[in-house]
Amino acid sequence: MVLSRKEILRRMKEHVSQEDSIVITPLIYKELEDVFDADSVDLRLGCHFLLPKTLDQPFFSPDRRSATSLHVRVHVPLGQFLVVPAHQTILGATLEFIKLPSDVSGQVLTKSSVARTFIVVETAPWIHPQYRGCLTLEIANVSNTPVLLYPGRLICQLVLMRIAPTQENAKTQTVKDNKDDLSTKLDTNYFGPVYPEAPKFRNPQDDLLRIGVTRVSSFKRTRLHATKKGWREEKSEL
Amino acid sequence: MPSGLADLLHDAAVLHRFVDFIEEYCKEQERSQTYVDASGLFFQYVEKLAAGIKQELGREIERAQRFPSRLPILRSNIWTLKNYLRLLHALIKPAADAHTLTIPAPLIELAAHQLQQVERMKNSCVVILLTSEFMYFQRPHTDIKDQARIVETFIPKASFPPKLGFIELPYSQGPSFFTNLAIYHEIGHFVYEELSNSDPPHRHIAALKSAIVRSLNKAFRKRSLDPETFAVAAKILGNWIQEIFCDLFAIRLVGPAFSFAFVEMLGMLGFLSEKATVIFNPTHPATACRFAEHVRMLQNDSWWNAIANIDAGQKKLLERLSNLPQSGYKFYWDESTPGPQSLVQVFLDVVVPAIRKLVRQVTPENVTAVRRFEKARGSIEDCLRVGVVPHPTSSSPLDPVSIINSAFCFYLTALPEVVKRFEGADAENDVAVHSLWTKRLEMWTMKAIEDSQIQDRFRGVRGTALWSSLEKKS
């Protein structure tokens, strides 16, 4: 069931320690309608971005060492803009920090007016219950022209949905009573970010070992040096 | 071409190339990074100066060709420019390193805003420099200003921003928050320097200077001091004055969080050994004496009561050292040579009261700060406890000073509780996890300050004529 504006506002008024409370901060508006629809909240673009970096190798390998290798961090203060080149995707974050309760999931959608400029926000739009943090947004410019993004402007909308309880708990409305249905493990890897976050991977071999794969191909980049007997690999791995 | 002219041309060309590089360097930094306002102002000045110098060099050579007798003057002008650029050179790179990704920008902006509320400091701002030293410093700027004034006589288009200061942050502390509250002390140095050199001199600074003379007369009444000794003693008192002034200045602006940050910083530097805390040296008063003044100011401003229930080692240390008897303070010229004890005594008796007065005089009276902190602390801590950025429960934004103090108190007292809550009991003694959660607390605190600044800006525009015109358009 999609949460209505009234329900979102009710939960936002709950004390932050209450299990069913929702936090969306800072919400900047004069009239509620400026950011709220009947069933969603509009969110603004934050000031920090991760831009794709030109790699020094022929591909990107999602492994433990990759977290900092793919992106360049950029800060664009309010009042300035960022140019997203044609056909390029960047990572941004919402200006708003979100906290979801354990009985609510969320989905981020591109604001329709933004979508009409051929900017697509989010390809992994689902937000799990209990998430807290600014939302990392994958912002793709799928048009043929560069597009300017202004931090502080509305960019996406957040739709919140209540997780349906099991039949025996269906009559109970409180989160507390539905704990069995709603038990989720908090992902402390992505806990409470206020900037867009680079992905955090384990090494592929470690992931694959968990499903029983014991032989894994890997790419090792090495340096060669000339010897009398020809080219030899240096011992240290790059 | 006469050899004098050839030499001058060579010198001018070398300088031109040097200036050209600096100008391009500043432009490139500004293109690729974002800076707080003060740094932008500084870079603009350097760029204008560079453009002006390049033009002037061309004119100098022209003049030299027409009036060979002026060669020595022109050479001296180039020499002046070189000297001045050498000073600026030392500032440009550390300023360029301090962009908004490497410094706690919301804190710096807040501090700049607070600085402008200080008496006679309207429109002043500080450029942050990232230094390789593991220490916070204020780079004295009077010398730079004096030289800038001379340079301005032949490069009139580039005038040094009138109230610009320079503060150095250790690069390793750049992105952190809590220890960086130490910058308030350094801002104090900037204010003190400005007030000391202002025309007419600030009356309480003048009072302090006469307190120095009085105290020296009192300290050495039995023997007359030769001018040299008098100057040394006055210099030492001047150093001590500045340190106490800056500490109290910082507390007035940011409350007990500064004292906590100061304890953290001294701890990191290893300056909190039992013996060292009671020693006055020629540049600094004893840490115990400084802490005593911290506590006194916090008590007088009602902060001390407001943090009475903080059960943290840092506060206990502050309390314990501040209670050490003044009779235990010792003055040493260096590690082993004792200095005149009477200097310490008159400093405490005559000078310190005048410093307290000066600080109260120059800093804005903020009687509601403690009340706002007491009111907001619970809700700020509740937010942090559940891993959420502190935010207001009403329509008015949170007060940044309340955010800073509440977050610092929370950091000192409740971090283990948060770690246990989210990471489980196994992580309770995990150093890396504690470090990670400290980083998170700092991020949320900074975000809360940033949000409060955004909301404040919004409230500032809302309801104004500008807003009405927007409404009409839409």
Q: Would you state the pLDDT for residue A54?
A: 82
In contact, B183 and B108? CB cutoff 8 Å: yes
What is the CA B355 to chain-centroid distance, rounded? 18
Residues with Cβ within 8 Å of residue B452, at least 6 apart in sequence: B392, B397, B398, B399, B400, B403
Domains and CATH numbers, chain A: 5-201 (2.70.40.10)
* Mean of pLDDT over chain A: 87
Q: Would you state the pLDDT for residue B391?
A: 95
Angle at CA B176, nearest 5°, toward A73 and B305? Answer: 145
pLDDT digits (tens, 9 = 90+) for A217-232: 887 778 888 989 899 8
Q: Would you state the pLDDT for residue B450?
A: 95
Euclidean distance between CA atoms B285 and B399, whole angstroms: 33
Residue of B389, B440, B462 lying closest to A25 (CB–CB): B389
Per-residue tokens: B187: 């801002």
Euclidean distance between CA atoms A91 and A238, whole angstroms: 27
Single-letter residue type at B337: T
Chain A within 8 Å of B446 (Cβ-Cβ)? yes
Chain A within 8 Å of B391 (Cβ-Cβ)? yes
Residues with Cβ within 8 Å of residue A39, at least 6 apart in sequence: A2, A3, A4, A5, A159
Q: Do B34 and A77 touch (CB under 8 A)?
A: yes
Residues of chain A with C-beta less than 8 angstroms from the C-beta of B458? 28
Q: Would you state the pLDDT for residue B157?
A: 86
Q: Would you state the pLDDT for residue A173?
A: 47
Q: Would you state the pLDDT for residue A135?
A: 95
Search chain B and give the residue with CA nearest A151. Answer: B454
Residue of A23, A78, A186 lying closest to B391 (CB–CB): A23
Chain A within 8 Å of B385 (Cβ-Cβ)? yes
* Mean of pLDDT over chain B: 90
Number of alpha carbons in the 13 Å side-chain half-sphere of residue A154: 20
Euclidean distance between CA atoms B11 and B16, whole angstroms: 9
Residues of chain B with C-beta less than 8 angstroms from the C-beta of A15? 382
Interval B326-351 mean pLDDT: 89
Q: Do B391 and A25 touch (CB under 8 A)?
A: yes
Residue with tokens 């500008």: B466
Integer angstrom CA distances of residue A152 from A26, A95, A141, B242: 11, 7, 18, 42
What ipTM was predicted for this assembly?
0.88
Looking at the annotation, which residues of A are catalytic? 138
Residue of B101, B389, B451 lying closest to A75 (CB–CB): B101
Of A162-176, B158-172, B378-392, the one with minimum mean pLDDT is A162-176
Alpha helices in B323-430 (DSSP H): 341-346, 352-362, 369-385, 400-423
pLDDT digits (tens, 9 = 90+) for B270-294: 878 777 889 999 999 999 999 999 9
pLDDT digits (tens, 9 = 90+) for B233-259: 889 999 999 999 999 999 999 999 999
Q: Do A16 and B383 touch (CB under 8 A)?
A: yes
Q: Would you state the pLDDT for residue B411?
A: 96
Chain A within 8 Å of B439 (Cβ-Cβ)? no
Per-residue tokens: B2: 């006469």
Q: Would you state the pLDDT for residue B272?
A: 80
For chains A and B, what is the number of CB pairs under 8 angstroms? 72
Residue of B444, B455, B462 lying closest to A192 (CB–CB): B444
Chain B within 8 Å of A23 (Cβ-Cβ)? yes
Search chain A and give the residue with CA nearest B36. Answer: A77
Q: Would you state the pLDDT for residue A60?
A: 80
Search chain B and give the residue with CA nearest A98. Answer: B388
Q: Would you state the pLDDT for residue B268?
A: 84
